[in-house]
């Protein structure tokens, strides 16, 4: 971990540790010619992230052969610090019978009901994260430089 202006850049191990404490993230994929972001429930499994879903544009984008990104955040009320972790990599369907059997036992429960028979594993190429204190709201109550307020009459 390195710190710059109260921002801690997290090690890969710290990132995975934090990812294990959360169950919700956002999956960024390319669908057609544009980016899409989907909320997902995920679990960490053997240095990868696994999510369960139904068919649709999320699966189409995730399995298109382009890179995907999973981002998750959290807050530690004891320290007043937040964290954000991004996993960039490739997604693939979990199809081998042994892998499927192991995956079914993971504590993975999508919030939305419906057919969620597709298990997808994101194998990371890059894992990055940072942790930082929440800014005091009064920080944002100043006027931007060069902004002139009309006089009151």
Res. 90 pLDDT band, cuts 50 70 90: very high
Strands 81-93 and 7-9 come out as unpaired
- Entry pTM: 0.81
Average pLDDT score over residue span 99-128: 79
Residues 6+ apart with CB under 8 A from 120: 50, 51, 52, 53, 59, 62, 63, 91, 92, 93, 94
Instruction: Evaluate the CA torsion angle 98, 116, 37, 7 in order and state its sign.
Output: negative
Average pLDDT score over residue span 5-20: 93
């Amino acid at each position: 971990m390195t710190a710059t202006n109260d921002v801690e850049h997290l090690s890969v191990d710290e990132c995975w540790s934090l990812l294990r404490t959360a169950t919700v993230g956002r999956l960024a994929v390319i669908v057609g010619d544009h980016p899409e972001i989907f909320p997902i429930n995920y679990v960490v499994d053997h240095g990868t992230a696994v999510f369960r879903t139904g068919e649709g544009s999320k699966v189409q984008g995730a399995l298109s052969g382009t890179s995907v990104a999973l981002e998750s955040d959290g807050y530690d009320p004891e320290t007043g610090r937040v964290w954000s972790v991004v996993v960039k990599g490739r997604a693939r369907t979990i199809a081998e019978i042994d892998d499927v059997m192991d995956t079914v036992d993971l504590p993975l429960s999508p919030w939305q009901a419906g057919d969620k028979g597709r298990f997808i594993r994101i194998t990371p190429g890059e894992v990055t994260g940072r942790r930082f204190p929440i800014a005091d709201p009064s920080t944002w109550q100043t006027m931007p430089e060069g902004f002139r307020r009309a006089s009151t009459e």
